Amino acid sequence: MIIGVASVKIYVPWVHSLKEKRMVVKSIIFKVQNKFNISISEIDAQDIHQTIVLGIACVTNTTKFADSIIDGVITFIEDHTEGEILDIYREIR
């Protein structure tokens, strides 16, 4: 069993309230969960309006497949979010 995890930090400068941030986060999570069979959640910076930190996890049988899933999710987030990705941490175990 191979576990792929990633953390993606996104900067969204137009968000000025937690309500706006929650709408953006829910939209990203909904789109990613519908496209990929992974777990995704906001994991940090919940009280900071313009910063979103998402945690992503997948379970597969090969490291190559786990790596491709994480790559696909990150590319999908880049393509479907107007925010700027500041940092990506990934690990395959």
Both tokens of 27, joined, read 């939209």
Query: H or E element: which one contains 20?
Result: helix 18-35
Q: pLDDT digits over 53-76, tens only?
A: 999 999 999 999 999 999 999 999
Q: Would you state the pLDDT for residue 81?
A: 86
Both tokens of 3, joined, read 């576990």
Chain mean pLDDT for the chain: 92
pTM value is 0.88
CA–CA gap between residue 43 and residue 61 (Å, rounded): 25
Mean pLDDT by 10 residues, the chain (93 residues): 94 91 93 92 89 94 92 92 91 91
Q: Are 38 and 60 in contact (CB under 8 A)?
A: no
Domain count, the chain: 1
CA–CA gap between residue 86 and residue 74 (Å, rounded): 12
Supply the range of the domain harboring residue 65.
2-92
Which CATH number fits the domain that encloses residue 85? Answer: 3.30.70.1120
